[in-house]
Amino acid sequence: MAERGGGGKARAADPARRAAWEVLKTVRVDDAYANLVLPAVIEHFRLDQRDAAFTTELASGTLRWRGLYDAILATCVDRALSRVEARVLDALRLGVHQLLAMRVPTHAAISATVDLVRDIGNEGAAGFTNAVLRKVSARDRDEWVAEVAGPAGTRKHLEVALSHPAWVVEELARGLGPTRVDELADLLQADNDPPAVTLVARPGRAEPAELPGTPTRYSPYGVVLDGGRPSAVAAVAEGRAGVQDEGSQLVALALARAGLDGPDRTWFDMCAGPGGKSALLAALAAERGAVLLAGERAPHRAGLVRKALAGASGVAGVVVADGARPPLRPGSVDRVLVDAPCTGLGALRRRPEARWRRRYDDMMNLVLLQRSLLSSALDLVRPGGVVAYATCSPVYAETSQVVGSLLGGRQDFVLDDATQLLPEVPDAEGTLAGTVQLWPHRHGTDAMFVAVLRRWD
Ligand SMILES: C[S@@+](CC[C@H](N)C(=O)[O-])C[C@H]1O[C@@H](n2cnc3c(N)ncnc32)[C@H](O)[C@@H]1O
């Protein structure tokens, strides 16, 4: 492993820390997703397994805890943080994470960050970095939280201490609803705990027992991976299994389990990219002689769906199509999934940067799109057929409100009780009766929402 810290001047930065800084820079400059950038950066710096783990924790943890770290840095810097050069601020944040959340000795965390600042070309900020991090190192994490987060028990305290933007905390509180709002701190904490990797054994193609790990709590197809890379598992490499959060498995299951009157032949996944749910749905469809058509608006994501479905039975095809204008006759489909584009505020555990990137206004634009996609799906399904509307968000405006407003204008649809379709999952009722809302702190899954709407006429 590369040497970390120690005395001396003007050394090149430790590659593991430089790699973590590159991840932060790419997320900041290119709007990249940290989990997608990390493997490429680790490869580029030729990090061994131990250094790769260090870089992953350093980059992901820093992105997750940025809100708290910026509140701390603001008290240690003599000017507004917005006036600190962005690349130096990223290095400072990495330094704070090492000081307050990793077992890196103080002198090593500070001197390695000073080396990093020099290495990225800002020799002039070396003294500043050293002085700021010395101030940070004067207290431990709990002391800093007490200093910068205000009185415990307030919303403001939760925002800062658990590092979430105010509007996100507000929306998550509303999503929990008045009877559950006391779970807010547990939810925010769960967002900060990196999840274990969960695999799905696609039925008819792989058995959960083939996968190395522990069976998931609720999904009959899921296994929590013991460790190691998923791609090293033969069934994953062969496409018979895949990486998929248990919540997503349960959404597919709810759609497949809904009872139908009449034929059960044609399934449509309207927003299929990158194809995780399509692959599970196709396997479930094949078991009963039905076929799945997958639609996706973005051509490159449709390509990912094709890859996810390679070698699968039960596939009618993959089409690049706007779900608002699907290439299917109205009233012709037995089951439709609308896994709608959403804020993703239910998947913050696995997307450390997402909470800082999303804006309240994004949400309002997404709600309009969600309504239009669900409305189109309701037109596609035949009388007696079902539509599952899902999001990886627990935000009220994107979930219960979208479903409630569409149902209000469509006398030909009723809501099935989705909690009855997933009886193995306790305490999962959404704020709209009959919908299912999963939670990371309660179920150990992403905060997936699903409602099942049945056309009776
Ligand atoms: C939440 S993701 C779907 C995840 C996917 N079901 C899975 O399990 O892998 C939403 C997808 O909808 C796609 N999308 C956005 N607008 C769309 C539209 N108007 N019609 C169809 N797909 C759309 C996005 O490109 C994105 O791939």
How confident is residue 155, by pLDDT bands cut at 50, 70 and 90?
very high
Taking only the tens place, the pLDDT of each residue in 297-318 is: 999 999 999 999 999 999 999 9
What confidence tier does 426 reach under pLDDT thresholds 50, 70, 90? very high
Averaged pLDDT, 359-373 = 95
Does 191 have pLDDT greater than 80?
Answer: yes
Q: Which of 200, 267, 271 to mutate to test the pocket of ligand 1 (most atoms within 8 A of CB)?
A: 271
| Residue 422 shares a structural domain with residue 296 | yes
Please give the number of the atom of ligand 1 that sits closest to the Cα of 391.
1
Residue 164 lies in a domain: yes
Same domain, 400 and 268: yes
User: Is residue 1 situated within a structural domain?
Assistant: no
The yes-or-no answer on residue 392 being catalytic is yes
- Alpha carbons 338 and 377: distance in angstroms, whole number: 7
Nearest-CA residue for atom 15 of ligand 1: 341
Q: Is a pLDDT exceeding 50 seen at residue 5?
A: no
Query: What is the average pLDDT across 230-241?
Result: 96
Distance 303 CA to ligand 1 centre (A): 13
In a domain, 149, yes or no: no
Considering the domain architecture, whether residues 347 and 269 belong to the same structural domain is answered as yes
Per the structure, the complete domain to which residue 173 belongs is given by: 155-191
Instruction: Report how far residue 93's alpha carbon sits from residue 49's, in angstroms, rounded to the nearest whole number.
Output: 23
How many domains are contained in the chain?
4
What is the atom index within ligand 1 of the atom nearest the CA of 270?
A: 21
Q: In terms of domains, do 442 and 308 share one?
A: yes
Burial of 265 (0-12, 13-18, 19+ CB in 10 A): middle
Contact 454, 413 (CB under 8 A): yes
Q: In this structure, are strands 449-455 and 381-391 parallel, antiparallel, or unpaired?
A: antiparallel
Position 3 scores a pLDDT of 36
Q: Verify that 101 and 172 share a domain, yes or no.
A: no
For ligand 1, atom 19, name the residue with the nearest CA: 322
pLDDT of 259 strictly over 80: yes
Cβ < 6 Å from ligand 1: which residues?
248, 270-277, 295-298, 301, 322-324, 339, 341
Same domain, 125 and 222: no
How far, in Å, is the centroid of ligand 1 from the Cα of 107? Answer: 47
- Nearest Cα to Cα of residue 183 among 158, 164, 165: 158
Predicted confidence at residue 347, as pLDDT, reads 97
**Is 147 within the bounds of a domain?**
no
Q: Pairing state of beta strands 198-201 and 315-320?
A: unpaired
Q: Is residue 6 part of a domain?
A: no
Distance 339 CA to ligand 1 centre (A): 7
Q: Which of 208, 243, 278 is the C-terminal boundary of a domain?
A: 243
Domain presence at residue 150: no
Residue 179 within any structural domain of the chain: yes
Question: For 406-420, what is the mean pLDDT?
Answer: 97
pLDDT band of residue 4 (cuts 50, 70, 90) is very low
Pocket test for ligand 1, best of 249, 297, 402 (most atoms within 8 A of CB): 297
Of all residues in the chain, the percent with pLDDT exceeding 90 is: 96
- Collect all residues with Cβ–Cβ distance below 8 Å to 79 and sequence separation of at least 6: none
Atom of ligand 1 nearest to the CA of 392: 1
- How many CB atoms neighbour CB 297 within 10 A? 18
Protein residue with least CA distance to atom 1, ligand 1? 341
Co-location of 435 and 289 in the same domain: yes
End-to-end CA distance of the chain: 66
pLDDT over 90 at 204, yes or no: yes
Q: Cis (ω within 30 of 0) for the bond into 327?
A: no
Q: Domain containing 398 — which CATH number?
A: 3.40.50.150
Q: For the residues 415-433, what does the mean pLDDT come to?
A: 97
Joined together, the tokens standing for residue 144 give 């800093």
Residue among 76, 271, 342, 392 flagged as catalytic: 392
Q: For residue 440, with 0-12 CB atoms within 10 Å meaning exposed, 13-18 middle and 19 or more buried, which class applies?
A: buried
Q: For the chain, what percentages of helix, strand and coil (3-state, to nearest 5) are there?
A: 50, 15, 35
User: Is the same domain home to 232 and 312?
Assistant: no
Rounded Cα–Cα distance for residues 256 and 234 (Å): 27
Q: Are residues 223 and 213 in contact, defined by beta-carbon separation less than 8 angstroms?
A: yes
Confidence label for 261 from pLDDT (cuts 50, 70 and 90):
confident
Q: Which pLDDT score, from 0 to 100, does residue 10 have?
A: 55
Token duo for residue 356 = 């800082």
- Residues 87-116 have pLDDT tens digits of 999 999 999 999 999 999 999 999 999 999
**Single-letter residue type at 147:** E
**Which is the closest atom of ligand 1 to the Cα of 298?**
25
| Contact present, 200 and 244 (Cβ < 8 Å) | yes
Instruction: Using the atom order of ligand 1, give the atom closest to the CA of residue 301.
Output: 27
The alpha carbon of 271 and the centre of ligand 1 are apart by a number of angstroms equal to: 4
- Mean residue pLDDT across the chain: 95
Domain match, 265 and 231 both: no
Residue 10 counted as domain residue: no
Residue 61 or residue 229, greater confidence: 61
Residues 306 and 429 in one domain: yes
CA 252 – ligand 1 centroid, Å:
15
Tokens of 67: 């809100």
Burial call 7-29: b when 16+ CB within 10 Å, e when fewer: eeeeeebbbbbbbbbbbbbbbbe
* Same domain, yes or no: 309 and 394: yes
pLDDT band at 457 (very low <50, low <70, confident <90, very high): confident
In terms of Cβ atoms closer than 10 Å to its own Cβ (0-12, 13-18, 19+), residue 85 is middle
Same domain, 113 and 168: no
Alpha helix (H) ranges present in 65-122?
66-76, 86-101, 106-119
Pocket test for ligand 1, best of 244, 269, 296 (most atoms within 8 A of CB): 296
Centre of ligand 1 to C-alpha 306, Å, is 14
Å from CA of 126 to ligand 1 middle: 45
